[in-house]
Amino acid sequence: MASYIIEGGRKLEGEVDISGAKNSALPIIAGTILNGGISKLYNVPNIHDTKMMFRILEELGCKVKKDKNKYIIDSSRLNSCDIPEDLMREMRSSVIIAGALIGKNRKACFSCPGGCDIGSRPIDLHLKAFKELGINISEDSGRIECSADNINGSKIRLDFPSVGATENIILSSVLAEGETTIINAAMEPEIVDLQNFLNRMGAKIAGAGSNVIVINGVKKLKDVSYNIIPDRIEAGTFLCMTAMNGGEVKLNNVISEHIEPVIQKLEDAGCKLNIIHNGIELKAPKRLRAVDIKTMPYPGFPTDMQSIFGTIMTVAKGTSIVIENIFENRFKYLDELSRMGAKYTIEGRTAIIKGVRKLNSANVRAKDLRGGISLVIAGMYANGKTKVDNIEYILRGYDNLDNKIRSLGGRIHLYNE
């Protein structure tokens, strides 16, 4: 088991390069199955989740090679449509491999996906969409088998703009017969990135970034080379880390439009932000002011930033109201923060956080990825030494985290028991 040991009380100064987006890289890696050829991917974050995704591809017969700053994936020898159960359980996002396998070979077999425990994460919308594309689905002892002779374009209306379901529909219909329309599609930048990647491969997709996406099936796709967008949640994490701990940082490789709601809330809390070419700068105030947030699908405030922003509000002046509309169990980090002196109450999907001046160091435990990084940020603020256990969750999504924090002057060490 690995932990971080953090010595709190240091302001952050300096520059950090933001890595490629985890939530873009995962569906794009899955999408490399579709061309039955070579894909070269740049800006892939070096994190546990991308490594798992590559392992799944290798299990399915693809060749994956890292060459300096790019990954080269050869999917010409794909020979299985059966996603191994142990790898599937490791990571919920593995469900999007199903869409790519269906798209390519009209067949996929997988089990219910794993991932962070942040409330019930069903895949009913994915399966309903597959059915609407004419795919037969059967289930036997937790294994789900999807197969079709032909995939025919169709009009699919999502009950909720699910990111994963939108990606799965795109991946499964790129090589379908005719036109597929997704109504009430997710509008996240990562969906646009997936569209751009697949179009570079020869797909005909339009509308990503809006709530209607149209996919015109093509017969064949070609080799591709693609640069993944920067990770907006990692950028938001470093901004909030500095906002809470004080200091002044510059982040490179940031598309600031992607984090507008976070920028807005940080300004409301008293931070000075400056958008520069390909980056952003933040200067923290002496003390943050309390502001309210409400998570919503993009372009609203991202649920992946809720715990991080909630954490910085624990030491702000005043009381903030944090409403979580996307996942129902995303306040577990507050239990851990209460051990450090944070004051809050929770009523259903709402947390009311009363800012305190001081947090104390403690031994705390990460329970999911974003809740885990929140504890790291709080540990950097607290007096004394904080130990964050179970950091495997954090390593799923943050590339080179401890080095990046140290380069800003923070004191953090990874400790393997």
Active site residues: 116
Supply 192's token pair: 């646009």
Write the single-letter amino acid at 399.
D
Cβ nearer to ligand UD1, comparing 26 with 34? 26
Between 38 and 346, name the residue whose CB sits nearer to ligand UD1: 346
Q: Which range binds ligand UD1 by CB under 6 A, 119-127, 256-264, 276-284, 405-413?
A: 119-127
Q: Which two tokens stand for residue 329?
A: 């169990």
Please report how close the Cβ of residue 407 comes to ligand UD1 at its closest, in angstroms.
25
d(CA 313, CA 342): 9
Cα separations (Å) of 259 from 132, 250, 273? 34, 15, 12
* CB closer to ligand UD1, 97 vs 284: 97
Q: What is the DSSP letter of 175?
A: T
| CB neighbours of residue 32 within 10 Å | 29
Cβ closer to ligand UD1: 190 or 234? 190
Q: Least Å distance between CB 103 and ligand UD1? A: 17
Of residues 74 and 304, the one with the C-beta less far from ligand UD1: 304
Q: Is the omega angle on the peptide bond into residue 122 within 30 degrees of 0, that is, cis? A: no
Q: Is 168 in the site for ligand UD1 (CB under 6 A)?
A: no
Least distance from ligand UD1 to the Cβ atom of residue 410, Å: 24
User: Which residue number has the CB closest to ligand UD1?
Assistant: 164
Q: Cα separation of 263 and 272, whole Å?
A: 9
- Residue 126 engages ligand UD1 in binding (rule: CB under 6 A): yes
> Residue 325 CB, nearest distance to ligand UD1 (Å)?
9
Q: How far is the CB of 47 from ligand UD1 (least distance, A)?
A: 11
Options 5-13, 60-68, 120-128, 355-363: segment touching ligand UD1 (CB under 6 A): 120-128
Q: Letter for the amino acid at 23?
A: N
CB of 193 to ligand UD1, least distance (A): 11
Per CB under 6 A, 124 contacts ligand UD1: yes
Q: Which of residues 175-234 bind ligand UD1 (CB under 6 A)?
A: 186, 190
- x/- letters, 25..44, toward ligand UD1 (CB under 6 A): -x------------------
Q: Please report how close the Cβ of residue 124 comes to ligand UD1 at its closest, in angstroms.
A: 5
Q: Is 257 in the site for ligand UD1 (CB under 6 A)?
A: no
Kindly give the pairing relationship between strand 224-227 and strand 212-216. unpaired
Instruction: Give whichever of 51 and 77 is closer to ligand UD1, judged by the CB atom.
Output: 51
Q: Which is nearer to ligand UD1, 8 or 372 (CB)?
A: 372
Q: Which stretch binds ligand UD1 (CB under 6 A): 59-67, 159-167, 177-185, 351-359?
A: 159-167
Question: If you search the block for the tokens 């002011």, which residue do you land on?
Answer: 289
User: Which residue carries 């009950």 as its tokens?
Assistant: 159
Angle, alpha carbons 270-405-23 (nearest 5°): 85
Number of C-beta neighbours around residue 174 at 10 A: 29
Is residue 327 involved in binding ligand UD1 (CB under 6 A)?
Answer: yes
**CA-based diameter of the chain, in Å?**
64
* Binding region for ligand UD1 (CB under 6 A) out of 35-43, 158-166, 239-247, 345-353: 158-166
In angstroms, what is the C-alpha Rg of the chain?
21
Token pair, residue 276, equals 């520069």
For ligand UD1, which residue of 9, 122, 142, 178 counts as binding (CB under 6 A)?
122
Kindly tell me the sign of the dihedral angle through the C-alpha atoms of 113, 55, 326, 370.
Answer: positive
Instruction: Compute φ and ψ for 378, nearest 5 degrees.
Output: -65, -40
Compute CA distances 278 → 17, 261, 262, 404, whole Å: 10, 18, 17, 18
- Judged by CB under 6 A, the residue of 55, 107, 121, 250 near ligand UD1 is 121
Q: Is the CB of residue 73 less than 8 Å from the CB of residue 57?
A: yes
Rounded to an integer, what distance in angstroms lies between the CA atom of residue 76 and that of residue 67? 19
Output the CA–CA distances (angstroms, integers) from residue 230 to 24, 189, 292, in the order listed. Answer: 9, 10, 26
Round to the nearest angstrom and report the end-to-end CA distance of the chain: 6
Residues 3, 19, 23, 43: which binds ligand UD1 (CB under 6 A)? Answer: 23
Q: Are 52 and 94 in contact (CB under 8 A)?
A: yes
Write out the binding residues for ligand UD1, residues 267-326 only, by CB under 6 A.
Answer: 303-304, 326
Nearer to ligand UD1, 23 or 361 (CB): 23
At closest approach, how far in Å is the CB of 267 from ligand UD1? 23
The residues binding ligand UD1 (CB under 6 A) are: 23, 26, 92-93, 120-126, 160, 162-165, 186, 190, 303-304, 326-327
